[in-house]
A and B are shown apart, each in its own frame.
Chain A
Amino acid sequence: MPPKSEAHAASTTTTGATQFDPSSDSIDPIFHILRVLPFSFLRPPRLRLKLPTFTLPSAMTVYSLILLTYFMVVSGIVYDVIVEPPGIGSTQDRLTGAVRPVVFLPGRVNGQYIIEGLSSGFMFVLGGVGIVLLDLALDKNRAKSVKVSYASAGVSFVAISYVMSMLFVRIKIPAYLR
């Protein structure tokens, strides 16, 4: 009995010793330098901080960020920043003198107002989302009502997006397809 308890006490003391002296195991030279230079006379405070761990976002998170970026690029945000067009144009009615707003910049293919750019970009993204919804509607693991609603939403999004895009182009370029 006594040798066992002694051995037990000895083992606890040795583990206690190793707990308070981990540096003898490390081969990291930077660690040893730091141990000597500032931390021989400085005492680090007891904090409960944790290094932030870096986890990669999921594929669909990245995809939604990309969709947002695509929306901005295709709306002509770089054009807006550099050329600084007005948000919406204006023209003066010759007879009454009232100022009427003009949404689409007429006359040029490579020119836009800010709002017309954003609305067209939104239409394009809507069309893309519609096709994505169509694909989601074919996933077998969903309830039937959800599938039907996805499919109908997808079809309507694509249809609206195409019709509106064509309408915008026809307003902007009157000679389109003639």
Chain B
Amino acid sequence: MEKSATDLLTSPGVSSLFKSLKLKTKQQELLIRVTILFLVYVLAFITRLFSVLRYESMIHEFDPYFNYRVTQFLTEKGFYEFWNWFDSESWYPLGRIIGGTLYPGLMVTAALIYWTIRFLRFSVHIREVCVLTAPFFASNTTLVAYFFGKELWDTGAGLVAAVLIAICPGYISRSVAGSYDNEGVAIFALLLTFYLFVKAVNTGSLAWALASAFGYFYMVSAWGGYVFIINLIPLYVMVLLIVGRYSMRLYVAYNCTYILGMLLAMQIRFVGFQHVQSGEHMAAMGVFFLMQVFYFLDWVKHSLNDPKLFHTFLRITVTCAVGLGAIALGVGTASGYISPWTGRFYSLLDPTYAKDHIPIIASVSEHQPTAWSSFMFDFHILLLLFPAGLYFCFKRLSDATIFIVMYGLTSMYFAGVMVRLILVATPAVCLISAIAVSATIKNLTQLVRAKSKASHSASGKGTTSSKASSKGSLDQSLPFQRNGAIALLLGAFYLLSRYAIHCTWVTSEAYSSPSIVLAARGAHGNRVIFDDYREAYFWLRQNTPPDAKVMSWWDYGYQITAMGNRTVIVDNNTWNNTHIATVGRAMSSYEDEAYEIMRSLDVDYVLVVFGGVTGYSSDDINKFLWMVRIGGGVFPVIKEPDYLVNGEYRVDKGAAPKMLNCLMYKLSYYRFGELTTEYGKPPGYDRARGVEIGNKDIKLEYLEEAFTTSNWIVRIYKVKPPNNRW
């Protein structure tokens, strides 16, 4: 065998080199594994760089601008200033305690990376570090996925899991370069915590449980989604107890993780004492006490020799424990010490709750329930492999596979409730699909390799009759099976290659847009770039007094503060619903009422986003009904039916009179009636709604136009001071 291989390489020098490098099978396998992991690491990083190559290295979307501003502050002023920061530039006149109302994990991580790189004397700007943090952590997630797959099934499954998660669009959507948001780091922390906990349950070692507690601490510092961990792990422990898999390993792992994790989590000011006070964390505490009861019962059973006596004792103890627990929970909830589930998380259990009671949560587009095509877009082949992977997990039940099944099912349910949570389901789906792929391919390759073994042994030995008959029957079906297995292997590789093509296409087309820079196809197929947002924010930065206050809808607050460097009234944090409702009321009132509200808030400039000239459909007129609903939720004087005609939302001649004269309409369509936007259409044709507007002759009494960007996307108006009394 070796002679033929070396004969292929003609020169004797190379052959002697190869002979010296001759690797044993185990080393060859290790080399292959390390090479694959290295390539997957690089792949996960570079597939997220589409927007950096197409546009430039900038921060995307809305939330990342706040994170970027906070990270800048951290690197400039240091950790103590950051931890005690009170920001008066947002939520005027209330301000915001930033140190106590954010999850610092992402900013501290980026700052640490920045300081490390600076220490090595590379002078890099903090923006580059922020832009590339998410792809870096995505690469690290693939490594964690490999180890997790190895723990669940075997190394083959680990490698497949690493590859699948590297390019899965569900994960890429929130971790692309430029998307400097909590989820980029949080998914890494989530998977790491779960891996360490499963390892602790499998080995029963205190060291792994301690590592899992620290992983949980990192997760709590990074994202509000840590509530998922603190509820999934107790649920998993409950299932293990019900199925009868209680063991000392489980006891050690859960107790250590829960207690230490809880204590560490209380170090984050935003979380505070929620682990003992909030209803969402009570499940973990309940399961903790239940574990102690189990341990106690186990010890009593061990010391007692009489089974009948033990049965009575068991009945008494279980009744008492359940009774005490129920009483404690009841007293805690009734006295108000244990707060009920917050609206954000309650709407996950009861999806219809947000629609009826909390319009702010219902209005965010990411919070809409998921349709099948979103699943398909984000998962492709994995949707077919997921049920198959579940089957393999059920075939070989162990503590680890029970965990991944529970993680997969709960996260898929939540992904069905809210589109944004497809991100949380992605690691579970990738791992379970990897199990399916690995098990199927292993079966098929065993079929392919079985024939050569059987024919060798059959020819080599003089077998007994029974062996000959069994091998003979195998021999009968084999010629069929071997070719079939090869064909199926080729089919499996075809499906996986289609998955890779799909993922790359989706990443390139759908998930790599910066949202702050818009692109469209021009009339001749060339690409047109709309950079209006940054144009407007830069104008604000340079042409308004430094203490000017800008009123806009809350979507744009973070960007205005970060890029325009001006004080805003409301921003994306949405912590004060009444303040947002005040702005909503101002936008939906007639100009004189709105002027009163704006004077009371010291507003100097108003910013609206208008898509009528370019056909941009995420503008303020399309969001207007949410302003009405939120404003009307607090101020009953704003009624939604006033703005609709027969239940329909219109802006043309047949629109409601209140709609045609409200502040938002006037500010969006001021001077628009004179503009011809499309060939063959009358002036004042709104390309985003596809109608000609109803009120073309708009006169503003209390505001004047300050700036309109080149494509009319962002329009800024100055609020006039009150007239001099004569």
Contacts and interface: CB of A to CB of B under 8 A. Distances in A.
Interface of A: 26-30, 56, 59-60, 62-63, 66-67, 69-70, 73-79, 81-83, 109-112, 116-117, 120-121, 124-125, 127-132, 134-135, 138, 144, 151, 155, 158-159, 161-162, 165, 168-169, 172-173, 175, 177
A155 B489 CA distance: 12
A76 B443 contact: no
Contacts of B405: 66
A158 B384 contact: yes
B177 interface: no
Contacts of A131: 384-385, 387-388, 391, 436, 440
Nearest to B388: A131
Contacts of A116: 372
Interface string B394-413: 11010000000100010011
A78 B387 contact: no
A136 B377 CA distance: 30
A169 B373 contact: yes
Contact of B377 (A78, A109, A151): A109
Interface string B339-383: 000000000000110010000000000001111111111000101
Residue from A29, A60, A79 whose CB has the most chain B CB atoms within 10 Å? A79
A63 B390 contact: yes
A117 B439 contact: no
B374 A109 contact: yes
A110 B368 contact: yes
B39 to A, nearest CB: 25
Contacts of B439: 135
B369 A82 contact: yes
A129 B376 CA distance: 18
Interface stretch (B276-284, B309-317, B556-564, B634-642): B309-317
A127 B380 CA distance: 12
B644 interface: no
Closest 3 CB pairs of A and B: A128-B387, A127-B384, A131-B388
Contact of B376 (A62, A73, A169, A177): A169
Interface in B415-431: 415-417, 419
Contacts, number: 155
Contacts of B447: 138
Interface string B116-140: 0000000000000000000000000
A29 to B, nearest CB: 8
A78 B242 CA distance: 29
18 contacts: A27-B312, A56-B243, A62-B394, A67-B390, A73-B415, A74-B375, A74-B416, A76-B416, A79-B371, A81-B352, A116-B372, A120-B373, A121-B372, A128-B388, A128-B391, A131-B385, A131-B391, A134-B443
B411 to A, nearest CB: 11
A77 B416 contact: yes
Nearest to A83: B369
A70 B409 CA distance: 8
B477 interface: yes
Contacts of A168: 376
B373 A110 contact: yes
B384 A117 contact: no
A124 B383 contact: yes
A172 B373 contact: yes
B272 to A, nearest CB: 32
Contact of B416 (A29, A73, A159): A73
B461 to A, nearest CB: 21
A171 B511 CA distance: 21
Contacts of B374: 109-110
Contacts of B473: 144
B316 A135 contact: no
B373 A73 contact: no
A46 B371 CA distance: 57
A110 B371 contact: yes
Contacts of B242: 56
Residue from B384, B397, B488, B495 whose CB has the most chain A CB atoms within 10 Å? B384
B490 to A, nearest CB: 12
B124 to A, nearest CB: 37
Given A70-B412, A76-B371, 20 more contacts: A28-B316, A59-B394, A59-B395, A70-B409, A79-B416, A81-B352, A117-B371, A120-B372, A127-B384, A131-B385, A134-B443, A135-B388, A135-B440, A151-B484, A158-B491, A159-B491, A162-B495, A177-B501, A177-B502, A177-B505
